[in-house]
Structures are given as C-alpha cells and as structure tokens.
Amino acid sequence: MNRYDLFIGIDYSGAKTPISRMKALQIFATMPGGQPEKQYVKMLSNNGKRVNWSRSDIAGWLIELAQQGMRYLAGIDHGFSFPGSYLNRYKLKTWPQFLDDFVRYWPTDRDHVYVDFIRDGVLQRHENFPLSGMRTGRSDEFRLCERWTSSAKSVFQFDVQGSVAKSTHAGIPWLKYIRDAAGAHVHIWPFDGWSPPEHKAVIAEVYPSIFRHRYPREGRSADEHDAYAVARWLAECAARDMLDRYFNPPLTVHERQLAECEGWILGVT
C-alpha cells in the first residue's frame, strides 16, 4: 500500500510580495497511479476567473491539507537552509534556531515586503525593522548538497539566470510558519529526521533541473513543467519503491550531521 495519498510539485518564486498572485507560482499534484494535474486556488476573481497562487496561499493550502490528515509528499524548489559557514558565523546550532533567527532579519513573510526591500536596506531604515538584512552570505558559499550537484547555485547568488537566492529568502519564513501551524502533522525533511513517519505529510527541497528533461513539455510553461516534473518524479519514485533510497543518501556521519542543519536536496545521491 502506498504510504502517500498525494504527490505535489511546487515551482516557487521569490518575486513581488507574499500576497502577490503570480504565474511563476505553479502547483501540480497526483494521487498514486495518476498523472499530475495543475492545481488552482479555491477562490475566483470578481469576474469568475481562476486566480494565480501567492506564497501565502501555498503555505495555507499545505497546512490545510496536513491538518485534514492528507499524507502528501511535497517537493518545493527553493533552499530550506543555509551553508554551515553561515550557521557557524552566526553561532546557529540547529535548524529551528536558524529559522527563528532568519525571520528576525529577513521578515519576507510580511504582507507587503519584497526581498529586495531588505537587500536594499529599505526596511532597515524603518523603525519597526532595525535588524532587517543584517544577516548575509557570499555567493561562493555552498551547502554540501549543492557541491554534490553539477549546476546548483549558492543560496546567496542573486540576480543570475537560474538563481534560487530570492525564492529561498522568500520561502524560508513560510517553512517556519507551516511548522508552527501544523508541526504535529508535517515532517520537513531532513530536519525532522531522515526517515519520515508514515502518518505525516512530508515537505522536501527539490531541484527540478535534475529531472525536468525526463518528461515531454506538452505545451506547459517552464514553471508549469517544473512543477509537473517534480510531482511526477515523486510519484514514480514511490511506485518503484525508491523513496527510502533518496530519503537516506550515502553520507558519512559528519556529512549527515552537517546536512541536518544545512538541509538536503531530495534526489541528490
């Protein structure tokens, strides 16, 4: 029997604000044995048309599904943590400690906050956000999982093609939000453990470029296809009984301890 009820691929974006609705945010999902289908926000616009997702919508949807008891496996394409060099620099010992620290300096889950507002010092000049942007990293700093791939970029490398820096800085506070709201129902891999329990929903970091070319595009936009590819790959891995292999990459004890704070990209082995 399949341990998951639903496989979800989320193509993320760090553009605009958390409540901005964007075509760049795409979700595809499939039940075991099915084909991934595009998922839509429940609400409609004033003229009865479908609306795009916002980052706030996505977090709320994942929380709602988990609280309803849906055992999903969701792959999201942004970094879930920062390199060990950053963690050591700011004396952050655990991932929960990192999350608490990050949202103080990068409050990118606030309704009208752009990532670039913090990068450019706009919020730092505001009396309510005196610390914003004071935690930084260099574009030559990499996590171990990024060094294990041929093309993954640093979570600190902004403004280049294929960059994940903006989406990472925008998405991390929502991981804390989901964990705080639905922690009893959600397992964020690998920080909550390398082997997810069968009764919980699971959220993992993915890197769509690893497997996007395995599947024909079939008229989907680039963002739609990345979400589709993630959902399909997750479902296929489960059908082939391969997930446990990817949930437990061949790491040494030291590497595993590092990855428990830095995070890992599901599918990198």
* Structure confidence by residue, pLDDT tens digits, 14-32: 999 999 999 999 999 999 9
- pLDDT for residue 162 is more than 90: no
The predicted-structure confidence for 220-262, as pLDDT tens digits, reads as follows 999 999 999 999 999 999 999 999 999 999 999 999 999 999 9
Number of domains in the chain: 1
Indicate whether 269 belongs to any domain. Answer: no
Q: What is the structure's pLDDT at 236?
A: 97
In a domain, 267, yes or no: no
Q: Measure the CA–CA gap between 181 and 137, rounded to whole angstroms.
A: 29
Taking 50 as the threshold, does the pLDDT of residue 78 lie above it? yes
Nearest to 255 by CA among 209, 164, 198, 194: 194
The pLDDT assigned to 238 comes to 96
Counted residue by residue, the chain has a size of: 269
Residue 59 lies in a domain: yes
Categorize the per-residue pLDDT at 158 as very low, low, confident or very high, splitting at 50, 70 and 90: very high
Residues 4-15, mean pLDDT to the nearest whole number: 97
Residue 197 lies in domain: 6-262
> Does residue 157 lie within any of the structural domains?
yes
Task: Read off the pLDDT band of 46 (50, 70, 90).
Answer: low
Asked whether residue 1 is domain-assigned, the answer is: no
CB 190 within 8 A of CB 262: no
From residue 146, how far is each of 9, 66, 197, 206, 254 by CA, in Å?
Answer: 20, 29, 26, 11, 16
Give the pLDDT band of residue 103 (cuts 50, 70, 90). very high
Q: What confidence category does residue 130 fall into, taking pLDDT thresholds of 50, 70 and 90?
A: confident
Please, are residues 22 and 53 in contact by the beta-carbon 8 Å criterion? yes
Mean pLDDT of the residues in the chain: 94
CA distance 198 to 264: 20
DSSP-assigned beta bridge partners for residue 187: 202
Q: Which of 214, 184, 181, 225 is nearest to 201 (CA)?
A: 184
Residue 89: inside a domain, yes or no? yes
- The yes-or-no verdict on residue 42 having pLDDT over 70 is yes
Global pTM reads: 0.96
Judge whether 268 lies within some domain.
no
In a domain, 148, yes or no: yes
